[in-house]
Chains A and B, each alone.
Chain A
Amino acid sequence: MVSNHFTTLNLPESLILESGDIDASWREKTKDEESGDLHEARATLADPVRRLEHWLFLRKVEPPRGSSMAPPMMDLFSQIHGVLAETDAVITKMKSATTALMRAVMTKSAVQAQLKLQGCMQKIQQEKAERLDRFPEFEKKGNGGEFTEAVEVLGQLKFLRKWEQQCQERLLSLLEF
């Protein structure tokens, strides 16, 4: 049911792609004939996490199972989880405030929450970058039929992406005040 997104965009079936190349190929093809397949292919390949997932899928590798988390990820998770909960409390209070004074009283907690979120985002992006840097290694090993680490890292990247989205969502909500 899923087609090969690399083929759809005439790109080499590689984990290492330049976003400029993906866009350029999409643009050329879209001008000829716009289609949902092209959009899906670009959206998949432009996101390195989805690209890795698709690449593994095409190699018929079983997706990561369960949600086992390595200890460093676990630490990050509990840190982020705390900040998210704290931020949610601030956002709820800010949202229900109807007076300028109440919002002013809340501003300090909002600014603090924002700084903490930005700290989390930085940490997440750093963790993510470290893993993306290993793509050439995964590709090489994959060509030799070895996928264990790639699968493991895919699971971690998915967590990181989810947390990144959650932080981003809260940062945008805080902007509203």
Chain B
Amino acid sequence: MDKELIIGIDLGTTNSLVGVVDSGFPIILADANGERIIPSAVSYRKGGEPLVGREALRSRAVAPKRTITSVKRFIGRPFSDLSAEEISSVPYELTGGKQGPLSIPLGSEDAVTPQQVSGEILRHLKSIAEAALETEVRRAVITVPAYFNNAQREATKAAAEEAGLQVERMINEPTAAALAYGLDKLDENQTVAVYDLGGGTFDLSVLQMRDGLFEVISTAGDTRLGGDDIDAAIASELMSRFDLRELSSGEQATLLAAAREAKEALSKQDSHTVRLPFFRDGKSYEQTVSRAEMEALIAPVIERTRPICQRAFAEAAAKGAGTVDHLILVGGSTRIPLVREKVEEWFSLEPNVSQHPDEAIALGAAIQAGILCGRVRSIVLVDVTPLSLGIETFGGLMNVIIPRNSTIPAKAGEMFTNAVTNQESIAIRVLQGEREMAKDNWLLGEVLLPFEKGPKGSARVGVQFAIDRDGILEVLARDTVTNEDYVLEIRDAAVDVEDEAVEAMVSESIDYAFDDMNERVWTEAKLKSGELIPAVEMALEQVGDQLEEEELSQIGAATETVMVILQRGDKDAAALKKANLALDEATQTLAAILVEAAFADPDS
């Protein structure tokens, strides 16, 4: 007899899908309109149930501040973690205190958290599954980016619970994609890398597949890198071409949608005309963008995935994994031809595009769900933790206890003792991340260890740090008298001393974002000039003799322009930005000569 049904969910930044295993094969379920790819959008209507999916997206232009998209970028993160750029990247508002989750104000009185918005999407997916399967659904496997940290995973799990779904397992997105890829290759032995560039996150995982055992060797990623950044780069170019400055929320939403449309069109054809009819004060805008122009704009975004891949490959090699046989591309953004070209160029491996970019992860989630409820046999999945887990030691350093890329579930024990006589407890700060200084890593929380009263060094408490199969941390302490383990509570680390400082920082960041755009642009541009001018000098000194007379005079003129604007004192931010760009361009050959010289003869 079948165990209770479990569904598989891909909760994506841009789109979400729900699947299930049917007669041994994973399938994606469709909604009442026959749609399988559900936009991860929620629109909160005044006095009514929220709209989810395509319907929500339609109300984006009319209710930009009440229509939430790309919320996955914000789940499980405190407001103080956001950059001004991130805050201004979405048409809706974001606020929050010094700790706890951030909040999205919906207008006059109500507000929602990213977790609630995700919960709404999950509730919708649950109802799609229930309608399609004609049965109640209570359990699910949910995918998360491999590089999600503890807080992001916990918040995702909590969102599912709010939606009435018990999370049976959370699996990493690239791992899920590998399951979908490997389902019909169970008798083969391969080493594969999954390059997963989605709407908001990027992951690369290296896996070994042997006789139905899927073992992740290493993983690396960036949870703020994806299609959204590509859209933003295009939108920013459109803004400057249309000579638009400040945008209203509605205008921003429309422009982002147009940028996304351009990206999708230019992935298939060589040129596309962006049309914004009656965009502002009845005025329409129109611009034609070529594929080459778009590629120049988005190349820096794609370039950011390269060191991440190199990191994962290097660590897989260090762990003794053989050469990568196949590089599998998944995630909507891998449809962009430039992504495919770059990946092939970097790693000299023809990318494998056999998997459906939008569906592979959901299919993998469905397979994992099938394994757990006994509908799929003979597959075992073993994953790793993406980030090192450690504790803060004296001097504010991070002491790694479970290194990144450890197979999970993982555990490690530490002994703690009292440093002074009759010390009652010790507070341990638990951290996640790769930086040497504790403060540069994520603080997961504090654990309070009680000590038996006694002379210095007499109390001993053994603590076990464990990362479960979902990548979530648990801290256990052992009672030395009864030898029983008990779970320690991880408290949100209270920021007591620095309350005011943090508050100032938060309010500053808001000011920074909204109050004075010109001041902000000017400051950034001035910093850039301050770096460029001495760099030009140094560069000319080293290889200036290899330049043509004409190039030298161009550089001279461009430098002069920057200096004049700096000295003028009218803080013309736009002019300085433009002058910096011109100097950047004028020194391109110079930079290329320098780099070449550095590699040709590093010892000179």
Interface residues, chain A, with chain B CB atoms under 8 Å away: 1-2, 19, 27, 30-31, 34-36, 39-40, 42-43, 46, 97-105, 107-108, 110-112, 115, 168-169, 171-172, 175-176
26 A-B residue pairs with CB within 8 Å: A1-B462, A1-B478, A30-B382, A31-B213, A34-B382, A36-B409, A39-B382, A39-B408, A43-B406, A97-B531, A98-B527, A98-B531, A99-B528, A99-B531, A99-B535, A99-B584, A100-B584, A100-B591, A101-B536, A102-B532, A105-B542, A105-B594, A107-B599, A108-B594, A115-B602, A175-B310
Q: Nearest Cβ distance between residue B169 and chain A, in whole angstroms? A: 12
- Residue contact A112 to B603, C-beta cutoff 8 Å: yes
Give the residue name and chain of the B residue nearest to A98 (CB). B528
Instruction: Give me the 7 closest cross-chain CB pairs, A-B, nearest first.
Output: A104-B591, A36-B409, A108-B598, A107-B598, A39-B407, A176-B307, A104-B594
Report yes or no: A105 in contact with B539, Cβ–Cβ below 8 A: yes
Task: Give the Cβ gap from B601 to chain A, nearest Cβ, in Å.
Answer: 9
A112 proximity list for chain B (CB < 8 A): 602-603
| Contact status A40-B410, CB under 8 Å | yes
B343-367 interface bits toward A, Cβ cutoff 8 Å, 1 = contact, 0 = none? 0000000000000000000000000
In angstroms, Cα B318 to Cα A104, docked, is 30
Give CA–CA (A27, B75) in the complex, Å. Answer: 36
List the A side residues contacting B584 at CB < 8 Å: 99-101
Bound together, the chains give a CA A8 to CA B331 distance in angstroms of: 39
Closest to B434 in A: A169
| Interface pair A172/B603, CB less than 8 Å apart | no
Q: At the interface, yes or no: B314 with Cβ under 8 Å from chain A? A: yes
Taken together as a complex, chains A and B put the C-alpha atoms of A36 and B464 apart, in Å, by: 13
Chain B residues with CB below 8 A from A39, complex form? 382, 406-410
| Residues in A neighbouring B382, C-beta threshold 8 A | 30, 34, 39
Q: Which residue of B lies closest to A164 (CB)?
A: B318
Q: Is the CB of A101 within 8 A of B210?
A: no
Does any Cβ of A come within 8 Å of B244's Cβ?
Answer: no
Complex CA distance for A94 and B536, rounded to whole angstroms: 16
Distance of A115 Cα from B590 Cα, bound (Å): 24
In the complex with contacts A1-B478, A104-B590, A111-B212 CB distance below 8 A: no
Q: Which residues of A contact B539 (CB under 8 A)?
A: 101, 104-105
Q: Which residues on A sit within 8 Å (CB–CB) of B248? A: none
Are A101 and B478 in contact (CB-based, < 8 A)?
A: no
In the complex, chain B residues whose CB is within 8 Å of the CB of A36: 408-411, 466
- Residues 547 to 590 of chain B near chain A (Cβ within 8 Å): 580, 584, 587-588, 590
* Given A99-B528, A101-B535, A101-B536: A111 touches B311 (CB 8 Å cut-off): no
Q: Give the most central of A27, A40, A108, A171: most B CB within 10 Å.
A: A108
Please, which residues of chain B bring their CB within 8 A of the CB of A19?
320
Residue of B with least CB distance to A171: B314
Which residues of B from 200 to 231 have beta carbons under 8 Å from A? 210-213
Residues in A whose Cβ lies below 8 Å from that of B413: 1-2
